[in-house]
Structure 1
């Protein structure tokens, strides 16, 4: 099963045990005005990620808000500010960080990078978190996942690593 951005947001919220009010605050810190109701709609799985056994849609079911790459990255930027505090911008630097998710293939790489920053993790911490979820990865492999897209040693991060990293986070943060 392919993870979409809504799924990433749901798993991240669970893993870090983030309250709804804090979710709204994090979106605002990332530059996106979102109400509590909008955030709750983002935390509904998309229709293609699960199947209703009867095969029909429940008319009572609320419609979800599909989280695009810009919204997800803004949330991750907000999470960094929420966890580490606002960083003073240097003269000549843009106020907001540039969006680094270029396409759907780089979402997981950016997710790992931004979580590493937000949670002040070392590479050893990340390897341990993945190990807790049953995934063995070398420091070199992890380095390739954390590289900038276009670097000669860059490696696209598959859903397996991202899903297991979020699972490992949940095991360590919710234990």
Structure 2
């Protein structure tokens, strides 16, 4: 899924303005301006549109985890920005919103998307595991839709 779409969706879900998005990214020790965020939130083809890099998205997701759960006592490892997949995005969102397996199923049901327990578990396996399954764009879109329906009503 396109990073800009994920950022746009989460911004809408949480009712955040550009300055608040920048503040959340800064929680993950990454400096960014509100103007840069505004450019990421523009639609493709508009004058100020800029593609959101994996680095910015990962720092936003890490900042979201800190924002929603609080800063950890443990030293935080540097984020892995070389392998930003839909699976990694899903894992970080699961952490940020403290979702359990049944919560994930409820979100997918809200989006009218059926998923079995083994299919869901396969998305959270380590790549290379025999039961690993890559998370598709459609699954991530429906997850974000369910999350939006749950939070915004």
TM over 0.5: yes
The 3-state SS of whatever aligns with 1:74 is helix
4+ runs deviating over 3 angstroms: 95-98
- Find the aligned partners of 1:149 and 1:70 in 2 and give their Cα distance: 20
Please give the residue correspondences for 1:62-101 in structure 2 after superposition, counting only pairs within 5 Å. 62-89=47-74, 95-99=76-80
**In structure 2, distance between residues paired with 1:164 and 1:74:** 23
Q: CA deviation at 1:27?
A: 0.9
Which secondary structure state, in structure 2, belongs to the residue aligned with residue 120 of structure 1? Answer: coil
Q: Compute the displacement of 1:101 (Å).
A: 5.1
Q: What corresponds to 1:149 in structure 2?
A: 127
Q: What residue ranges of structure 2 are gaps of 5+ in the alignment?
A: none
The count of aligned residue pairs is: 153
Gaps of 5+ in 1: 48-60
Which protein shows a greater Rg? Answer: 1
SS of 1:147's equivalent?
A: coil
Q: Confirm whether residue 11 of structure 1 aligns to residue 38 of structure 2.
A: no
TM-score in terms of structure 1 length: 0.81
Paired residues of 1:6 and 1:46 also in contact (CA < 8 A) = no
Distance 1:78 1:157, change over 3 A: same
- 1:165 corresponding residue in structure 2: 143
Q: Output the aligned Cα RMSD.
A: 1.6
Among candidates 61, 69, 87, match of residue 109 of structure 1: 87
Normalization by structure 2: what TM-score?
A: 0.91
